[in-house]
Amino acid sequence: MVSRTGRRETPCMKMLKSEAERDRVIQKFPQAFHPGATPYATKTNFDPQVRSCCSSSKSDRLKICKAVVVGDVAVGKTCLVNRFCHNLFDRDYKATIGVDFEVERFDILNVAFNLQVWDTAGQERFKCIAASYYRGAHVLIVVFDVSDIETLAHTQQWLDEASAAAVERTCLPSSQAKRSCG
């Protein structure tokens, strides 16, 4: 991502920003895309306790959430991350080696919040190091290719591996057809 100064923004630069981009400022509870997709369909605002905590929070402590994106090779993990973090789509992605790392800055109820997105490699040879990336994760996003049923069958394996690495069962399964990424 290129900053206003014309330089590429690194994850550290994003974390140190004084404010989030306009589309990353959240003042009210976001509406669900589909009421059946969430247990929070009837919620229209943040819980009063959450609001109170955020408004009284004078801490300068950096608030971070770590999300790890996993799935079989070539299911579209990098495409999904680049679309979310850079609003960018490229048909010719190179295979991820090890892990790529992005940071998105949000302001939630006027509290700075950084979402770390860890884009892992799907190749079998990188699975042994992927376990180390699971540690400390708050969210696991399992990606599969809707045009390849085998990748859907492997989602349970990805969840099991994350559980073995002591990741809490906070999970957000995500489907993606490569053709709809753009």
In this structure, what are the phi and psi dihedrals at residue 41, rounded to the nearest 5 degrees? -60, -30
> Across all residues in the chain, what is the average pLDDT?
76
Render pLDDT for 103-162 as a digit per residue (tens, 0 to 9). 898 888 888 888 999 888 766 655 666 667 788 888 888 899 988 999 999 989 888 888
Tokens read off for 104: 């998105």
Query: What is the predicted pLDDT for the residue at 116?
Result: 92
Average pLDDT on 41-47 reads 78
Among 6-10, 62-66, 144-148, the minimum mean pLDDT is found in: 6-10
Amino acid at residue number 34? H
Query: What is the predicted pLDDT for the residue at 7?
Result: 55
State the pLDDT confidence band at 177, using cuts at 50, 70 and 90: very low
Domain that holds residue 158: 15-182
Number of Cβ atoms within 10 Å of the Cβ of 142: 25
Tokens read off for 144: 């599969």
Average pLDDT on 71-81 reads 86
Rounded to an integer, what distance in angstroms lies between the CA atom of residue 136 and that of residue 143? 20
Contact status, residue 79 vs residue 149, Cβ threshold 8 Å: no
Query: What is the predicted pLDDT for the residue at 150?
Result: 93
CATH number, domain with residue 36: 3.40.50.300
Render pLDDT for 24-35 as a digit per residue (tens, 0 to 9). 888 887 777 787
Q: Would 6 be classed as within a structural domain?
A: no
Q: Would 78 be classed as within a structural domain?
A: yes
For residue 65, pLDDT over 50 is answered with: yes
How many domains, in total, are found in the chain?
1
Tokens read off for 156: 């349970």
Q: Nearest Cα to 181, choosing from 96, 110, 84, 112?
A: 84
Q: Nearest Cα to 103, choosing from 77, 84, 121, 122?
A: 84
State the pLDDT confidence band at 95, using cuts at 50, 70 and 90: low
